[in-house]
């Protein structure tokens, strides 16, 4: 199998390989123009350098890593809504909707576990979760979420906003597997709908500074009213997209409302183990 056949094989799992390698094709041609012995000797080094540049890093998370990370988020959200719908905190007018959100989150858990296990991976078990944010003491800042519906919605907003940004942050690592990427983006879209709806519910109940989307007019886009979740909105004040600073097109609020920023895996896991105390 020659170099171009190797690239053709890679293209089957990463359709964007040619775009990643351009304008490096000249380097490939130069390698193959050497004498055969030189070309063979240079090939391992050349390939390593080429693909390191093409993919930007020497090691990327596996598909299973990303899916188990997503599963951690879904375990947390499912647990939150399962507890909420069982405690009687949700008014009758919203109970059917919240039951649908709980159903969605549990379906996400079951789907991710099935995909991971049926594909040869090992789905992580549900982690220990302390929804009170009080290290098990029950006295944390969110301990009243299951008796106070407004607080329940506030925490739900933080969960959903974080989930949307978390999925966006991992999409690039799934680019080589279109089936999994499509499924992940489908979940991402549902999380975005949940986030918008929760925000609208809060607005309807008097949180009139909350919009159905994240708007950053200062250093953060945290409009929950809870300073403890500032980290969940870190970076939302960014106005540069694709290398273009968009402040000239309007106020910072207009610009930031038009884009959602990704969160890295490390950022999200730190938030979960700190703010919501998912034990890792």
For residue range 201-210, list pLDDT tens digits in order: 999 999 988 8
For residue range 220-268, list pLDDT tens digits in order: 788 888 887 888 888 888 889 888 888 877 788 888 888 889 999 888 8
In the numeric block, the tokens 């040869």 are attached to 120
Domain shared by 75 and 109, yes or no:
yes
Domain shared by 98 and 191, yes or no:
yes
Domain shared by 67 and 172, yes or no:
yes
Domain shared by 8 and 75, yes or no:
no
In a domain, 254, yes or no: no
Give the relative orientation of helices 178-204 and 149-170 as an angle to the nearest 10 degrees: 150
pLDDT recorded at residue 221: 83
In a domain, 35, yes or no: yes
In a domain, 95, yes or no: yes
For residue range 256-270, list pLDDT tens digits in order: 888 889 999 888 888
Domain shared by 88 and 197, yes or no:
yes
In a domain, 42, yes or no: yes
In a domain, 232, yes or no: no
110 vs 100: CA distance, rounded Å: 15
Among candidate residues 13, 32, 55, the one where a domain is terminated: 55
Residue in 84, 83, 89, 81 with CA at minimum distance from that of residue 108: 81
CATH of the domain at 149: 1.20.1260.10
Burial group, residue 272, by CB count within 10 angstroms (0-12, 13-18, 19+)? buried
Domain shared by 202 and 267, yes or no:
yes
State pTM to two decimals.
0.73
Domain shared by 18 and 116, yes or no:
no
Number of domains in the chain: 2
Containing structural domain, residue 36? 3-55
Domain shared by 43 and 67, yes or no:
no
For residue range 151-187, list pLDDT tens digits in order: 999 999 999 999 999 999 999 889 888 888 998 999 9
Domain shared by 100 and 176, yes or no:
yes
Domain shared by 135 and 181, yes or no:
yes
For residue range 79-113, list pLDDT tens digits in order: 999 999 999 999 999 999 999 999 999 999 999 99
Helix, strand, coil proportions of the chain in percent (round to 5)? Answer: 65, 0, 35
In a domain, 234, yes or no: no
pLDDT recorded at residue 247: 81
């Amino acid at each position: 199998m020659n170099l171009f056949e190797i690239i053709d094989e890679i293209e089957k799992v990463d359709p964007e390989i040619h775009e990643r390698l351009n304008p490096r094709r000249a380097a490939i041609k130069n390698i193959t123009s050497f004498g055969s012995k030189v070309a063979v000797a240079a090939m391992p080094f050349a390939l390593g350098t080429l693909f390191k540049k093409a993919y930007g890093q020497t090691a990327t998370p596996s598909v299973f890593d990303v899916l188990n990370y997503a599963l951690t988020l879904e375990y947390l959200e499912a647990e939150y809504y399962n507890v909420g719908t069982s405690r009687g905190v949700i008014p009758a007018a919203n109970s059917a909707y919240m039951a649908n959100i709980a159903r969605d989150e549990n379906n996400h858990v079951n789907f991710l576990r099935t995909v991971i296990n049926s594909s040869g991976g090992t789905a992580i078990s549900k982690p220990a979760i302390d929804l009170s944010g009080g290290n098990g003491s029950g006295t944390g800042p969110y301990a009243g979420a299951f008796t106070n519906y407004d607080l329940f919605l506030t925490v739900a907003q933080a969960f959903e906003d974080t989930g949307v940004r978390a999925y966006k942050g991992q999409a690039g690592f799934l680019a080589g597997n279109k089936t999994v990427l499509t499924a992940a983006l489908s979940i991402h879209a549902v999380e975005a709908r949940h986030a918008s709806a929760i925000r609208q519910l809060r607005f309807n109940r008097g949180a009139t500074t909350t919009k159905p989307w994240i708007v950053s007019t200062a250093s953060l886009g945290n409009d929950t009213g809870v300073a403890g979740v500032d980290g969940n909105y870190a970076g939302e004040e960014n106005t540069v997209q694709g290398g273009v600073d968009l402040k000239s097109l309007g106020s910072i609020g207009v610009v930031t409302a038009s884009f959602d920023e990704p969160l890295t895996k490390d950022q999200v896991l730190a938030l979960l183990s700190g703010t919501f105390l998912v034990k890792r």
